[in-house]
Amino acid sequence: MNTQKINVAKIKKFGHNFEISINPDAALKYKKGEITDLNEVLLAEEIFTEAKKGLVAADNKLMEAFKTTDITKIADIILKSGEIQATAEHRSEEREQQKRKLINLIHRNAVDPKTGFPYPPNRIETALEEGKIHLDYNRSVEEQFDDIITKLRPIIPIKIEQKKMKVIIPAHFAGKLYSFVKGNSTILGEEWMNNGNWKVKIELPAGLQQEFIDKLNSLTHGEVMVEIE
């Protein structure tokens, strides 16, 4: 008999297990702040004690553990504070995708300062292997980019063109996006405006600029203001 594979995110509280059935790709993006819509993550609108057997958690246990029975609020807690499980095949595939994304970002952003030309992807991959440089798969590639470039420099000379920009994020998005901005750029200066908006000056690799702006527009529904210096 074939058993259907179910990917779950889970957490243990007050001696009880709580699980949600998830799309693992979307769940990891949600945890990293790359998406905010739980409808893209949840495959069932239930909180389980054991998802594979379809055992739904009782309301009194949910109240004890989370002080609410609201599925959205509980799912958010489980995704951000709990453990996201996936099949070995899925984890291997995702890690390969992340590695390819890293190599592509370095290829797009880094040049050999002697020639001014970008490094071929296979040379970048070889340098990563030589330096035994590995990604932390619990963090976004963009968030680790600067650290990885620093580790690569003793192996191959690298120059990264940086771009600066000023960003104003509306007050009702500022709290949610603070960690995203901080994790994907270098903050050069910031201030909280009288209306609660967050004004921040940042620096990031030139090749990441448009992707960063597009993500801000997506997460704020176009309400962000960006000025490129």
Residue 100: inside a domain, yes or no? yes
Q: Residue 190's pLDDT band (boundaries 50, 70, 90)?
A: very high
207-219 mean pLDDT? 87
Both 146 and 183 in a single domain?
A: no
190-209 mean pLDDT? 90
In this structure, the strands spanning 186-192 and 198-205 are: antiparallel
CATH number of the domain bearing residue 67: 3.30.1250.10
223-229 mean pLDDT? 91
159-187 mean pLDDT? 90
**Residue ending a domain, choose from 45, 61, 84:** 84
**Residue ending a domain, choose from 42, 58, 84:** 84
Domain span holding position 40:
8-84
Both 13 and 67 in a single domain?
A: yes
Give pLDDT tens digits for 50-99. 998 999 999 999 999 999 999 999 999 999 888 887 666 777 877 888 89
123-139 mean pLDDT? 90
Residue 223: inside a domain, yes or no? yes
Both 135 and 193 in a single domain?
A: no
Give pLDDT tens digits for 88-128. 677 787 788 889 999 998 988 888 888 888 889 999 999 99
What percent of the chain has a predicted confidence (pLDDT) above 70? 96
At residue 2, the pLDDT reads 38
Q: Residue 214's pLDDT band (boundaries 50, 70, 90)?
A: very high
CATH number of the domain bearing residue 125: 1.10.10.900
At residue 87, the pLDDT reads 66
Structural domain total, the chain: 3
Residue 2: inside a domain, yes or no? no
Q: Residue 3's pLDDT band (boundaries 50, 70, 90)?
A: very low
At residue 1, the pLDDT reads 33
**Residue ending a domain, choose from 84, 104, 138:** 84
The Cα 157–Cα 69 span in angstroms is 55
Confirm whether pTM is higher than 0.95: no
CA end-to-end distance (rounded Å), the chain: 62
